[in-house]
Structure 1
Amino acid sequence: MWYDRDYEAKLIIRSKLNYFWLINQKLDAKRRNLFRSNCFRYWLDLLYFEHEPHLIDYMVRKQHRVDDSHYDMPFIYYLDGHTLHFGRPEFCLMTGLRFGSVSFEVYTSSDLKFRERVFPDKQWLIVTNLDLIGVLEDEERFWRLSDEDAIRISLLLVLEVIFMGRLLTCQVDDTLMRLVENLDTWNAFPWGEHIWTHLYDQLHNVMDNHTDKHLLGLKKNPTSKPTYTLGGFVFAFQIWILETFESCERWCTKNRNVTPRAIAWSRKSIFKRSDRSSLFTKDSTTRLDLRPNAIEYECSWWIDSQFFFQKYVPRATVTFNYTLVDAYLNRLAKELKRVAESLKVNSTQCRPSNGLTTKRLKDRVMAEMNGKLLKLEIIIQCCKNIMISPEKLDIETHFPNTRYEFCESLNKVYRKLITLPDSDEELSQEYLIQEELRLALAKEVRLQIEHEKVMREENLTRQEEAKRLRLEEENMLKLEEEKKQNRIAFFNSEHYQRYLASEYLIQEELRLALAEEVRLQIEHEKVMREENLKRQEEAKRLRLEEENMLKLEEEKKQNRIAFFNSEHYQRYLASVHPSKRRNYLQPVSESNNAKWVWQRIKKHDPNVNDPAIAELLTRVQPWVEDLSRWFHSVENVWLTDEIEVFLGQPSYTQACKFPWSDDYTVDRILMD
């Protein structure tokens, strides 16, 4: 039904976490390292870029209403038997941002050097978050900036768009541009308190401020879906929910070695509206009081924030003096809005004469208001002229120009003002109504007293809990102070000094050994360079000698060719060459039998008497020079050790073959 408070609403979150990824992509390695040296350094490692609207919407519905007396105190949430609180310490653990006293007074007036360098075309104009995005997206312009200005652009974008959750069309305050000029001052500024204050104002009674409007909209149109918007760094509130409920690991995973805690979470699956019944149950295991671990306890941002938490005094609520004038102006604005909607003209008719339509609308509104004032003035004047209260005013006598219908309407208003109950029944009915009103008022007062009593008891419980936590904190601080004193005593002890001296001697020996190793390495490199130079010179000398030998060989070859082609050498060859060659063997084909060969050899050479030799001579092939060898030149004598290597093999065989012949098999013993 339309009055059901557990209606479904759409939550819109202004903070854009994906700009962390964009900044990480736009910065190179050098600028990324420079960004990591600033106060927002952890957030470049963020892996969880999505909000969970259903998770956040369910939690804000369970927020206990914060009245003016408890303003700026931690939020209290009631969930099926679990009482949770979310305040400054929890926000500090989630974000790792430092808390402290916030003051911008020093940066309200000075030169805007940053704007003059980065936005020279906006000297007398405002700079918006969209302008920061434009510089980041324009790669050429972004790389022309100095590394420090690029980091300043990134820091302003992270603060305004992500942490504060402002729109891209919002103006970047000149105070922030003066503050970011000095990066050391920017890093020392207590951004945790600044961001938390804005988030607190966004979450403060958020559903109470929107429920009536949502229910009225659902009453008019049950199929509509109400919508509301949250600014600020809502992601820290979401991480606090994940840290509080242990069963959240079904949708998200956490790396427990990473700080701050918002960086340690990553998403496994989307949290749907139907998953709320699985997470928020009475049996769910919750961490009611989140405490820092050993790593977080030693962090500087937590130590500095603890001093601020102990001395902090809550802010006073922002109140408005709502006078009768404000009430009149508010009702007048509503009346003007209602009349404007009733007299709204079609947009197609308004286009030609927009000014005429506006004037006509104003005239109608003023005429209606003047009519109401005129009625009131007439009634007052008639009451002054007559001392008794007749049933009907004689308006025509005093105002003869008025119409009859107008007079009747005035008389109706007058009768409502002066008519009193006459009969006993009417009097008793009036008495009963007054008695019911009195009882209802008494009941309301009693409920108010009971509510105040419950609130006082709750405040006492909170104070006792705060006192207990403060005592625990003091005990922890005492233990830490004792640990610190013990640590200092240990560092000043004699055996620790001896240990440091021995460590120093060991380090000195290692340093000397390393220096000796470096010296030997340098000497070795020097020797290697000298050897390389000698080798290069030797190779150069051998190359020159080889070139000279090749030149000499080429000259000898040319001289030999010239000698063989000379005329006197040809005459010498002609004089010593026989006219007819005799007594030489010619190769025979394999088809010749040994007998025929023997007879032919016997005929030509009567000195050959062995038929076996004649048979072997039949297999003699004409000799062909093997030019594929690397020493194929027959004009030079090449000496190799192949025969010595072959004969010097350790294996012993009775018979072997020469590598240059496949015909004869000889005995190794015979060769020895």
Structure 2
Amino acid sequence: MVLSGQFCHHILLRECHVKNANENSSLWYHVGNGVIRFSPMEFCLVSGLTFGEYSESSLELFKRKDSRLRRSYFQDSKVHVKMIVDWFRNLGPNNKNRDDDIVKLALILILEMALVGKDDRTSILYWALELVDDLDAFNKFLWGSFLYDRTFNSLSTCLLGRDDKFKNKFIDKLKEKVDAPVKRKVERYNVYGFLTAFQVWAIEAKPKWVTLGYAVRVNNVAPRILNWQCTETPTFVEIHKTIFKFKNLTIYKNLGPSDEEAGKPYWMGMDQLQYVSPDVDGCGSEDDDEDDVDDVNHDDIEGDHPTKTFKKN
């Protein structure tokens, strides 16, 4: 699965507010004539990770400094993701490390790089290094709640205070002539969390991404993240002209479980989360025609990004 930063950026520029929505736990994006929701329910269906009653205090038991794995393999030093990567690269065929420790450190590497979304220069989650020493506790941990919390907070604040700047750049980029691109300072921002799940959710919500060949369905199983393959990385302008330019897109506002998914263990925790189906507040459009690039304005990409913290209802 190739993560398309440009595709995710297009979605983030379209955040909007909806009436009666719990903005402490869900995000809504204006696409075409409607809105699509990203919430714990969609995240759970895509990722297959478990949700339930979760709080930071539940991690206190594992926030000890005497981690056996840290002491045994990293001399109690500050552990960066790259140190674990290098540790694996240095493993030889005759290594004398415990097989279960190799598995545990592999799980930490997957957690940090694929799920938490860190690069190799950052420190690891030390409580997770302690937690993984008990594989049963590690497997039972509410990773869905934890990772959605992290992903939600990053998505909802990554453009905070810079919305207009990025929207203006969006408009300018669409108006540029292909044969005479304008050189400008590159603006960047960081997004952390399980962004692959965010991208797969967007694919499920907007089938046009599939019909254009940017995503290919390779399976029909649960969880849904196993069903998709993305190998294309189209440019920002290509994505707009082939997907977001059209008002009459087919979209699925909310994702719901199939009968099979409703019986999966990871879905059981969703019973503890209650949602109101909100009304759209200024996010829709009556126009079914195509956008003209020359007419792009702020109304086409409305929304803002208030600071939010994920809380259970």
TM-score (norm 2): 0.74
Provide the rounded CA distance (Å) in 1 between the counterparts of 2:233 and 2:23.
Answer: 34
How much has 1:278 moved relative to structure 2? Answer: 2.4
Provide the rounded CA distance (Å) in 2 between the counterparts of 1:242 and 1:194.
Answer: 23
Q: Per the alignment, do residues 223 and 117 of structure 1 end up closer, same or farther by CA in structure 2, a change over 3 Å counting? A: closer
For the Cα contact (< 8 Å) 2:219–2:226, is it kept in 1? no
2:249 is matched with which residue?
Answer: 284
Superposed CA deviations along residues 620-646 of structure 1, whole A, max 9, x for unmatched, are: xxxxxxxxxxxxxxxxxxxxxxxxxxx
2:222 is matched with which residue?
Answer: 259
2:294 is matched with which residue?
Answer: none
1:449 is matched with which residue?
Answer: none
SS at match of 1:204: helix
Q: Per the alignment, do residues 211 and 291 of structure 1 end up closer, same or farther by CA in structure 2, a change over 3 Å counting? A: closer
**Pairing 1:176–2:141 present:** no
**Pairing 1:105–2:60 present:** yes
Provide the rounded CA distance (Å) in 1 between the counterparts of 2:135 and 2:117.
Answer: 22
**Pairing 1:144–2:96 present:** yes
How much has 1:130 moved relative to structure 2? Answer: 1.1
* Partner amino acid, structure 2, of 1:160: E
SS at match of 1:94: helix
1:293 is matched with which residue?
Answer: 258
Stretch of structure 1 that moved more, 54-63 or 160-169: 160-169
- The correspondence for 2:187, drawn from 186, 201, 226, is 226
**Pairing 1:242–2:203 present:** yes
SS at match of 1:257: coil
**Pairing 1:155–2:107 present:** yes
Q: Following superposition of structure 1 onto structure 2, how do residues 559-598 of structure 1 map, counting pairs within 5 Å?
A: none
Provide the rounded CA distance (Å) in 2 between the counterparts of 1:180 and 1:139.
Answer: 20
SS at match of 2:189: strand
For the Cα contact (< 8 Å) 2:113–2:119, is it kept in 1? yes
Q: Per the alignment, do residues 212 and 185 of structure 1 end up closer, same or farther by CA in structure 2, a change over 3 Å counting? A: same
For the Cα contact (< 8 Å) 1:98–1:192, is it kept in 2? yes
How much has 1:271 moved relative to structure 2? Answer: 2.9
Report how many residues are paired: 257
1:483 is matched with which residue?
Answer: none
Superposed CA deviations along residues 83-129 of structure 1, whole A, max 9, x for unmatched, are: 1111000001111000121420211236321222222xx23x21111
Provide the rounded CA distance (Å) in 1 between the counterparts of 2:11 and 2:70.
Answer: 41
- Which structure carries more relative contact order (alpha carbon 8 Å, separation 6+)? 2
Q: Per the alignment, do residues 214 and 252 of structure 1 end up closer, same or farther by CA in structure 2, a change over 3 Å counting? A: closer
* Partner amino acid, structure 2, of 1:292: P
Superposed CA deviations along residues 375-418 of structure 1, whole A, max 9, x for unmatched, are: xxxxxxxxxxxxxxxxxxxxxxxxxxxxxxxxxxxxxxxxxxxx
1:77 is matched with which residue?
Answer: 29
Provide the rounded CA distance (Å) in 1 between the counterparts of 2:166 and 2:215.
Answer: 31
**Pairing 1:272–2:217 present:** no
**Higher helix fraction (1 or 2):** 1
For the Cα contact (< 8 Å) 1:210–1:228, is it kept in 2? no
Provide the rounded CA distance (Å) in 1 between the counterparts of 2:94 and 2:4.
Answer: 33
Q: Per the alignment, do residues 111 and 228 of structure 1 end up closer, same or farther by CA in structure 2, a change over 3 Å counting? A: closer
Q: Per the alignment, do residues 144 and 201 of structure 1 end up closer, same or farther by CA in structure 2, a change over 3 Å counting? A: same
Unpaired runs of at least 5, structure 2:
173-181, 276-313
Superposed CA deviations along residues 43-91 of structure 1, whole A, max 9, x for unmatched, are: xxxxx2x11122111110000269xx95423101112321111100000
SS at match of 2:105: helix
2:84 is matched with which residue?
Answer: 132
Q: What's the % identity of the aligned pairs? A: 22
Structural RMSD (CA): 2.9
Provide the rounded CA distance (Å) in 2 between the counterparts of 1:216 and 1:76.
Answer: 21
Provide the rounded CA distance (Å) in 2 between the counterparts of 1:253 and 1:142.
Answer: 41
1:203 is matched with which residue?
Answer: 155
For the Cα contact (< 8 Å) 1:132–1:157, is it kept in 2? yes
* Partner amino acid, structure 2, of 1:275: I
Unpaired runs of at least 5, structure 1:
1-47, 312-672
How much has 1:185 moved relative to structure 2? Answer: 0.3
Structure number with larger C-alpha Rg: 1
Superposed CA deviations along residues 244-302 of structure 1, whole A, max 9, x for unmatched, are: 11222222111342221112101354333323232232222112221112322221111
- Structure 1 stretches of 4+ moved >4 Å: 212-219
Q: Per the alignment, do residues 109 and 270 of structure 1 end up closer, same or farther by CA in structure 2, a change over 3 Å counting? A: closer
- The correspondence for 2:267, drawn from 291, 298, 302, is 302
Q: Per the alignment, do residues 224 and 172 of structure 1 end up closer, same or farther by CA in structure 2, a change over 3 Å counting? A: closer
Provide the rounded CA distance (Å) in 1 between the counterparts of 2:217 and 2:191.
Answer: 26
Q: Per the alignment, do residues 113 and 79 of structure 1 end up closer, same or farther by CA in structure 2, a change over 3 Å counting? A: same
* Partner amino acid, structure 1, of 2:267: W
SS at match of 2:3: coil
Provide the rounded CA distance (Å) in 2 between the counterparts of 1:214 and 1:80.
Answer: 20
SS at match of 1:209: coil
* Partner amino acid, structure 2, of 1:307: D
Provide the rounded CA distance (Å) in 1 between the counterparts of 2:93 and 2:71.
Answer: 15
2:71 is matched with which residue?
Answer: 116
Provide the rounded CA distance (Å) in 1 between the counterparts of 2:120 and 2:150.
Answer: 17
1:187 is matched with which residue?
Answer: 139
For the Cα contact (< 8 Å) 2:47–2:224, is it kept in 1? yes
* Partner amino acid, structure 2, of 1:279: I
Stretch of structure 1 that moved more, 153-162 or 88-97: 153-162
TM-score (norm 1): 0.36
